[in-house]
């Protein structure tokens, strides 16, 4: 196969991104990225219109980012290559949506049914941003266990990958020791840490060194290595596809 570059961690307007799935596909074409995956938070609505079945470039791999927990710590599990019509996955994501709505009502108890937030309606994008990205809330979101998320992804024919392992309080290897026995398939090795966490990764050299460290962990634990921009806007990134040769549904 002659695919050149990929970005397997992208958010659309179906969660907290700014662009529609179609616009993201068009952007990838413009940027010369051959394979993408739209990995919205706890939803696969981006694929409801059959976007992943489009035969044009870029090739689109079904994806999702599930908010989960492992040993009282929040982790994000990226799912790939699953069947978007799988009922088990549909049930899990419906549970996640209801849990997020219940969380919002507990955190904003004086809001109306439209969930007022800071004087305005709490939009879906704001709700996801508050529940997924911000820590230290008085009432944490009731998340699915990582083991359950992995089990459901496998049941849908997919694989499970730990997203951005350098952004959690726990060291990456500690998380892998807990997640690998649960069936974790991959590790997001390539990620723009310098852009997302500049205090921890102030230079390009430190970011590249961390990528190499994660790649060694992926090899040690027998995990696939993936990468993505985690963009919520227009800043797609591309990594060489030979780094993910064994990704199911791409090289099958």
Global model pTM greater than 0.75: yes
Alpha carbons 9 and 191: distance in angstroms, whole number: 9
Question: Which tens digits make up the pLDDT trace of 140-180?
Answer: 677 899 999 999 999 999 999 999 999 999 999 999 999 99
80 confidence band (pLDDT: 50, 70, 90):
very high
Taking 60 as the threshold, does the pLDDT of residue 114 lie above it?
no
Alpha carbons 128 and 17: distance in angstroms, whole number: 10
pLDDT confidence of residue 72: 85
pLDDT confidence of residue 234: 82
Fold of 5-244: TIM Barrel (3.20.20)
Average pLDDT, the chain: 85
pLDDT confidence of residue 71: 85
Alpha carbons 162 and 184: distance in angstroms, whole number: 7
Q: Where are the domains of the chain?
A: 5-244
For the segment 51-57, the average pLDDT, to the nearest whole number, is: 67
**Tokens 């996955």 sit at which residue?**
89
Q: What percent of the chain is modeled with pLDDT above 90?
A: 54
Is residue 146 within a helix (H) or strand (E), and if so which, with residue range?
A: helix 146-155
């Amino acid at each position: 196969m002659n695919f050149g570059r990929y970005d397997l961690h992208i958010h659309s307007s179906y969660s907290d991104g700014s662009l529609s799935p179609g616009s993201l596909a068009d952007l990838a074409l413009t940027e010369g990225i051959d394979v993408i995956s739209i990995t919205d938070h706890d939803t696969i609505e981006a694929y409801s219109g059959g976007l992943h079945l489009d035969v044009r470039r870029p090739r689109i791999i079904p994806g999702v980012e599930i908010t989960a927990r492992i040993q009282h710590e929040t982790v994000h599990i990226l799912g790939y290559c699953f069947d978007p019509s799988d009922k088990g996955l549909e049930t899990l994501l419906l549970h996640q949506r209801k849990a997020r709505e219940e969380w919002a009502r507990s955190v904003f108890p004086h809001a109306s049914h439209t969930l007022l937030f800071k004087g305005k309606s709490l939009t879906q994008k704001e709700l996801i941003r508050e529940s997924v990205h911000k820590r230290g809330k008085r009432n944490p979101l009731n998340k699915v266990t990582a083991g359950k998320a992995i089990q459901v992804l496998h049941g849908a024919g997919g694989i499970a990958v730990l997203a951005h392992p350098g952004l959690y309080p726990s060291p990456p290897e500690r998380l892998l020791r807990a997640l690998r026995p649960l069936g974790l398939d991959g590790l997001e090795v390539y990620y723009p840490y310098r852009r997302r966490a500049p205090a921890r990764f102030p230079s390009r050299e430190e970011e590249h060194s961390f990528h190499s460290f994660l790649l060694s962990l992926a090899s040690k634990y027998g995990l696939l290595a993936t990468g993505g921009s985690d963009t919520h806007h227009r800043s797609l990134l591309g990594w060489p596809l030979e780094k993910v040769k064994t990704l199911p549904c791409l090289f099958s």
